[in-house]
Amino acid sequence: MKSKDSVKGSANLAQNSAKAPKNGRGSKMPASKADKGVQGSKKSITKTEKGVQGSKKSITKTEKGEKKTKEPFAKSLKGSKEAKKTVVRSEKKVTRSDNTSVTSSKSRCPVSKKCGGCQFIDMPYRNQLKVKHERLEELLSKYCTVGEFIGMDDPDHYRCKVHAVFTHDRKGNPLSGIYQEGSHKVVPVESCLLEDKKADEIIATIRGMLRSFKIKTYDEDYGQGLLRHVLIRVGKNSGQIMVILVLTSPILPSKNNFVKALLKAHPEITTIVLNVNDKHTSMILGDKEKVLYGKGYITDTVCGMEFKISPKSFYQVNPVQTEKMYSKAIELADLDGSEEALDCYSGVGTIGIIASPHVKHVTSVEINGDAVRDAIWNAKNNDIDNVTFYKNDATRFMQQMADSGDKADVVFMDPPRSGATEEFLNSLFVLGPSKVVYISCGPDSLARDLGIFVKNGYIVTDCVPVDMFCHTRSIETIVLLKKKL
């Protein structure tokens, strides 16, 4: 199938596309090597470490897109048995509560009640997994047995993407922090138990530099001021750090001296990018960017592959769990090197590129142009030539494939929290893959979609929850579906 939405890659990748098999979709992107299977792989997939065996509970996810409004969490767990007997700890006694969150008289986080971002911060980690596991069982037990959780050895400071809103108090003193739950009121935060420690230190340094450089923070009510946000992205394995300054203007006063001072305080910073957002919008990042220092991006490794992380690229925020999750997904797919694979909602191509040494060919589709450009770079950088990338809406692309009579042996899908559309699923059933690896960040939408799969001749053989967002209600789940013979 030829598509106007296929994305051209580099010259040498485009040349390889001439060798593509039928399912290369006529792309001018990298083509498959027909004989490239498991033996041809130069990359190893790390075996998944098993987490703590849960009992019966769960919740939902965060983190897709770049809206500055607070990331939504799953619905309340009020309906679950565990929610009605949540332990609330105080210094002198233990009581029962109908609330789903667990707090103590001395919370681990001084702003937890205002922030609302880490509802389980004061619940023992093993109990968090039990609560989440039970929620999953309530939703999915009619379709499968929920496996044990893949948890973390150290569930603190796991976020490699850190966002700080900048504002000021009544005296004009600069403040940085997060939005209070359900509002645009900024809660000052010095450090966060979820966030990378070094990122928090850099944000504090920037806040301390503002007065000496006469940089005013943004006033959302009046639309005045220069500095709106600071975004830090950290490569946990590479050690690289990107600082993104979101300003209302492309002009940063004393730019060179500011960059020099920041690098002197934090020589570990790899690159600094100025992003311009001059609109009255809920989006964090604007359309224009200017590199102030370094390459304008960082890289990090997952499952032996190196990936480019740009300011706007979607990239999982918990690198430790990402490695486990993708390794488990490839393990469940049980690939033999002969498959035509389809990677939907592919982001920067992570799953497809990791799977590529183990299949004949991967067709990857993603709607975000920045992510697709990074995916092309990632494939070339990892010497992968059997992945074809398309910039397209996943539903529309699947419909085009179904209309063209294309087929896929295995489908990897990682849809947004709302799950897959009905049109997407109907087209998938026309393609008729023997296996589907569904990575979900929304248990409710997953339960809905599994019901549709089952009605259309699929069975759930494996369900593995992953704790990507520790101390929160959010859950990631890997499900393997197989087509009935």
Q: H-helix or E-strand containing 439?
A: strand 435-440
Report helix angle 422-431 to 394-404, nearest 10.
Answer: 30
Type of residue at 152: M
Answer for the pair 135, 61: CB distance below 8 angstroms, yes or no: no
Paired tokens of 209: 């530099």
Paired tokens of 448: 């809905």
Summarize the annotated binding site for S-adenosyl-L-methionine as residue ranges.
316, 345, 366, 414
Handedness of CA 111, 114, 115, 118 (dihedral sign): positive
Q: What is the DSSP string of 246-259?
A: EESSS--TTHHHHH
SS3 369: helix
Question: Could you tell me where the beta strands, DSSP code E, fall in 104-250?
Answer: 161-168, 174-179, 186-188, 227-234, 241-247
CA–CA separation, 471 and 340 (whole Å)? 38
The residue from 115, 192, 441, 463 that is catalytic is 441
CA–CA separation, 43 and 327 (whole Å)? 12
Q: Is 144 a catalytic residue?
A: no
Residues 6+ apart with CB under 8 A from 110: none
Answer for the pair 156, 194: CB distance below 8 angstroms, yes or no: yes
Residues 6+ apart with CB under 8 A from 28: 6, 8, 9, 14, 17
Tokens 């990677």 locate to: 343
DSSP 222: T
Which residues are bridge partners to 245 per DSSP? 230, 274
Report helix angle 422-431 to 443-455, nearest 10.
Answer: 40
**CA-based nearest residue to 261, from 296, 201, 212:** 212
Summarize the annotated binding site as residue ranges.
316, 345, 366, 414
Answer for the pair 348, 391: CB distance below 8 angstroms, yes or no: no
Catalytic residues: 441
